[in-house]
Amino acid sequence: MLDKTSKIYVAGHRGLVGSAIWDNLLSRGYSNLVGRTHQELDLCDQPSVRRFFDEERPQAVVLAAAFVGGIMANSLYRADFIMQNMQMQCNVISEAYAHGVQKLLFLGSTCIYPKNAPQPMKEDALLTSPLEYTNEEYAIAKIAGLKMCESYNLQYGTNYIAVMPTNLYGPNDNFHLENSHVMPAMIRKVWLAKLLHDQNWRYLRRDLNQRPVEGVSGLQGDDEIAGVLAKYGIYDNRVELWGTGAPLREFLWSEDMADASVHVLLNVDFSDIIGIEKYSSVHYGNTTDGAVDRNHSQGRGGALPQLGEIRNCHINIGTGREISIRQLSQLVAKTVGFEGEIVFDASKPDGTPRKLTDVEKLHSLGWKHKVEVEEGVERLFQWYTDHL
């Protein structure tokens, strides 16, 4: 059982996911937190990860670090996406086990589900049909991560939990037009189109100085700025978006995701997920220095045959609510105060028609989201403009 003094290592504590979890833990009084930047600790380097665990000896681990990106990055760097994510997961999970970590929370993504999974997507839809090709390598890596957690629990009696958040947005989001996700990209595009229409070059240049587009910052001339923005469908009082606007998407405020993740970390055990009161028949022994004795495990080889096949022990984290891309664009326009034209280019791909999570398991474990998308869009736009 973790208490307020427990040392918790948050891998990826500077990212959208990790930073939100870090802040949530602090707000609950868990101040003994450990984080390392990529420059300080390369999680793909196993000897470095081992030295870190040797020195810090965390009692719990939140594995939120990942190599991530949009469709273009997933297509260009397929080898990197599968190799780097697998290396990070293998190194952290194996060293957590070797150093007797009490609890581990693994963060994945709902992209693990098949492209044509029945909607809403239940946890048991995993591995039932082919994945979406454009993010197959990332999805396979995340599936391997959740299976590592599941398998360590069954063989060694560990308490490793995997959660799969839906599409996230929130503070510290990525607003770079080249590789950002739909929500932040749409907010920024609509905002820039409004600034162009209002001839508010002061704020427009401040925006581009903060986040240059293809190397073009606020220092360039008006025509050069207008030209590069036009490449991304941003004009004076007009925004062009890809697709038909018909696809449905689910969005989860990152601070809600963090609250759900920390709730699971602190209150949910593997035994709660697989449906037995005590996971006492599966346990591992500890050596005198706190490391796990790999030769002493009643859990070796699958310890609970009376329960049959144990799989899909991960937990979806989402809202169970969806909104069309067209409706989202209207909501963003209203929030930003944009009264111009939003045009959908149907010659461009739509992507998956629908991707909604089933959150019944999460609700049964005592957590439900608080921030609806209408409020979340307002919060994200406010955060964005506050940080220019």
Nearest CA to 61 among 4, 122, 9? 9
d(CA 13, CA 145): 18
d(CA 287, CA 209): 55
Q: Which residues contact 370 (CB under 8 A, 6 or more apart)?
A: 253, 256, 259
Give the strand pairing for 284-286 and 160-165.
unpaired
Nearest CA to 180 among 192, 168, 166? 168
Alpha-helix residue ranges (DSSP H) falling in 221-291: 222-230, 254-267, 270-274
Residue 101 CA, distance from chain mean position: 23
CB hemisphere CA count around 7 (13 angstroms): 11
For 102, which DSSP code? S
d(CA 148, CA 142): 10
CB hemisphere CA count around 276 (13 angstroms): 16
CB hemisphere CA count around 62 (13 angstroms): 32
The end-to-end CA distance of the chain, in Å, is: 42
Give the strand pairing for 248-249 and 323-324.
antiparallel
Provide the annotated active-site residues. 138
- The residues pairing with 169 across neighbouring beta strands, listed in sequence order, are 253
